[in-house]
Amino acid sequence: MNKINVAILGFGTVGQGVVKILQKNTNQWVKKCGAEIRVKKVLVKDLQKEREVKLPTGVITTEWQEIVQDPEIEVIIELMGGIEPARTYILEALRKGKYLVTANKDLLAEYGEEIFDTCQEANRELYFEASVGGGIPIINPLKQSLIGNNMEKVMGIVNGTTNYILSKMSQEGKTFAAALQEAQQLGYAESDPTADVEGLDAARKIAILASIAFHTRVKFQDVYVEGITKISPEDLEYAQQLGYAIKLLGIGIAQDDQVEVRVHPALIPLDHPLASVHDSFNAIFAQGDAVGETMFYGQGAGQLPTASSVVGDLLTVINDIKTNSIRSTCTCYEPKKIKPMGEVSTNYFLRLQVLDRPGVLANIAGVFGNYGVSLASVVQKGCFQDVAELVMITHKVREKDIQDSLEIIRELPITKEIVNLIRVEGME
């Protein structure tokens, strides 16, 4: 019987989840992949730290060279996160002929080209299903099951923390601050939630998905990013009244030789599948020219869901080793231009406070008309101390045109405040 020696870099939440799965289902691995899986080494920073999962003496180490120089270790699972030293370790491991599995979205979104070029040089594959969507299978379906399609769109809720916050704000009327505090208490959000609430985590994930779906290199720096910190309970309430939910979406769209990639809050119709995704769940909506619309839904984070994807990749690697097969690593073979955000066209939800005077709406509509902004609906949401709040939804318009028009409207003497501008997806 074959024995496959594995090393794990990082023994935090996900690393311990991987070992839990491997230990729990020991008898199944020989049947599933024809090999006994042995975790030979686990790299940690602190040998003395108490851990939930216990390993045999000598398995845990702080010495990277013990792992990369060991000819018996064939597969390395990188779960450290961050850029360094993960980048250095992965590159060195590939050059030593190791097979790699990672969940590192930061590294792939910023240094994917370097990593995959090294894979090609080393004739090795890199598996990274757990980098997006936790336990949701989406990377391999895009690379394999949907390869017969020209993918036109990939859009989804890819950050459970922000979805939990928006769900609590919408369903219970909580403020952003209160919902964030609850998410932190439950362990969904870090003490520093910036990567989540400012959209950075989602931006890294949509960069990876767009790269695979559209066969072009999309980096984290290419993604337009806007977080949820400006979303108020009033925005959510008004959206609901108009037949929409608000979600933080990662959006990738391919058209001709251009790709648009963006992360921002968006109104989506209540009958859209993504509108019913609540709490910390994730969902990814993909559209191809042959398959049409598909959606992948499930736990987007957490110890065992993410570890499930890692172990799935590990079994695939073991089958590659047994059959001595190497799959094509990098799918980014079509250079495409990233569309500037100013050229992106969509619909918009706008809240603004203006003086309650005759002719005010006509003045505003006149400015919009000068910039080609057409209004689909206008609703007045009350009046207080001679100030009226207007809620508008536009027809599809270029980002640059609406932003330019709002610069003019902001300076009008009738304008008290432009409260919020949120994009609308799925009106068509």
Predicted local confidence at residue 25, as pLDDT? 77
**Residue 193 reports pLDDT greater than 90:** yes
Confidence of residue 2 (pLDDT cuts 50, 70, 90): confident
CATH superfamily membership of 2-134+303-323: NAD(P)-binding Rossmann-like Domain (3.40.50.720)
Tell me the pairing of strands 151-157 and 244-255.
antiparallel
The catalytic site residues sit at 205
Q: For residue 400, give the DSSP letter.
A: H
Stretch 34-48: mean pLDDT, rounded? 93
Residue 73 dihedral angles phi and psi, to the nearest 5°? -85, 115
Stretch 403-424: mean pLDDT, rounded? 97
How far from 221 is each of 161, 207, 218, 224, 335, CA to CA, in Å?
A: 22, 9, 8, 8, 16
DSSP H helices, 5-159, are: 13-24, 26-33, 64-68, 86-95, 105-122, 139-140
Closest listed residue to residue 388, CA positions, set 379, 375, 397, 377? 379
Stretch 403-413: mean pLDDT, rounded? 97
Name the residue type at position 32: K
pTM of the model: 0.94
CA atoms of 109 and 123, how far apart (whole Å):
21
Tokens representing residue 94 in the block: 């590939």
Contact 86/59 with Cβ under 8 angstroms? no
Stretch 55-77: mean pLDDT, rounded? 96
Contact 160/188 with Cβ under 8 angstroms? yes
Highest mean pLDDT: which range of 61-70, 295-304, 314-323: 61-70
- Residues 203-219 have pLDDT tens digits of 999 999 999 999 999 99
Predicted local confidence at residue 17, as pLDDT? 95
Total length of the chain: 428
Predicted local confidence at residue 394, as pLDDT? 97
Tokens representing residue 218 in the block: 């999309």
CATH topology of domain 139-299: Dihydrodipicolinate Reductase; domain 2 (3.30.360)
Confidence of residue 382 (pLDDT cuts 50, 70, 90): confident
CA atoms of 74 and 308, how far apart (whole Å):
20
Contact 206/259 with Cβ under 8 angstroms? no
Predicted local confidence at residue 322, as pLDDT? 86
CATH topology of domain 342-424: Alpha-Beta Plaits (3.30.70)
What residue segments make up the domains of the chain, in order of their start? 2-134+303-323, 139-299, 342-424
Contact 110/131 with Cβ under 8 angstroms? no
pLDDT > 90: what percent of the chain?
85
Q: Which of 309-313, 377-381, 395-399 has the lowest mean pLDDT?
A: 377-381
pLDDT > 70: what percent of the chain?
99
Stretch 162-176: mean pLDDT, rounded? 95
- Residues 317-362 have pLDDT tens digits of 999 888 887 765 678 888 899 999 999 999 999 999 999 988 999 9
Contact 399/393 with Cβ under 8 angstroms? no
Confidence of residue 29 (pLDDT cuts 50, 70, 90): confident
Rg (CA), the chain: 24
Confidence of residue 48 (pLDDT cuts 50, 70, 90): confident
Predicted local confidence at residue 428, as pLDDT? 65
Predicted local confidence at residue 328, as pLDDT? 59
Half-sphere exposure of 354 (CA within 13 A, CB side): 26
**Residue 37 reports pLDDT greater than 80:** yes
Q: Which of 4-18, 203-217, 325-339, 414-428 has the lowest mean pLDDT?
A: 325-339
Contact 120/241 with Cβ under 8 angstroms? no
**Residue 1 reports pLDDT greater than 60:** no
Q: Which of 101-110, 251-260, 326-335 has the lowest mean pLDDT?
A: 326-335
Burial class (CB in 10 A: 0-12, 13-18, 19+), 156: buried
Chain-wide mean pLDDT for the chain?
94
Element holding 388 (H helix, E strand): strand 387-394
Stretch 276-290: mean pLDDT, rounded? 95
Q: For residue 220, give the DSSP letter.
A: G
**Residue 46 reports pLDDT greater than 80:** yes
Tokens representing residue 304 in the block: 């065992």
Stretch 408-417: mean pLDDT, rounded? 96
